[in-house]
């Protein structure tokens, strides 16, 4: 415990902070920082992708009303009705935004 008025425990607190920082700079700390950075970047990417798809589609709640006019709304209705699995719906949305580099047709180049 530290006491601001007397300074009691401040030396021990600073030593604990230094130990914590030295562990964080080691190999285990680097791995943890890299995993945390990866999780942060993927979370931002997912959020931004979601925002862009919603912006392209008009950002409406048409699927909630059962009257889907947009492609994404129709896909959501298909998933809700169990006519389409969520993976196929996600792939359909992604294919509208960009080609799948794993798909054979996207590897063919016209030189």
pTM (predicted TM-score): 0.53
Cα-to-chain-centroid distance, residue 95: 18
What pLDDT does 67 receive?
64
Specify the 3-state DSSP secondary structure of 70. coil
pLDDT in tens, 63-88: 456 566 788 888 989 999 999 999 99
Report which of residues 61 and 8 the model is more confident about: 8
Query: What is the chain's mean pLDDT, rounded?
Result: 79
pLDDT band per the 50, 70, 90 thresholds, residue 58: low
Cα-to-chain-centroid distance, residue 51: 12
Q: Are 94 and 102 in contact (CB under 8 A)?
A: no
């Amino acid at each position: 415990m530290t006491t601001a008025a007397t300074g009691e425990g401040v030396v021990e607190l600073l030593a604990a902070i230094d130990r914590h920082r030295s562990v964080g700079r080691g190999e285990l700390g680097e791995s943890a920082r890299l995993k945390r950075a990866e999780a942060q970047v993927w979370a931002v990417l997912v959020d931004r992708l979601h925002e862009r798809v919603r912006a392209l589609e008009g950002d409406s709640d048409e699927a909630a009303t059962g009257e889907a006019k947009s492609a994404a709304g129709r896909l959501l209705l298909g998933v809700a009705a169990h006519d389409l699995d969520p993976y196929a719906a996600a792939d359909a949305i992604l294919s509208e935004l960009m080609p799948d580099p794993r798909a054979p047709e996207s590897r063919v180049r016209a030189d």
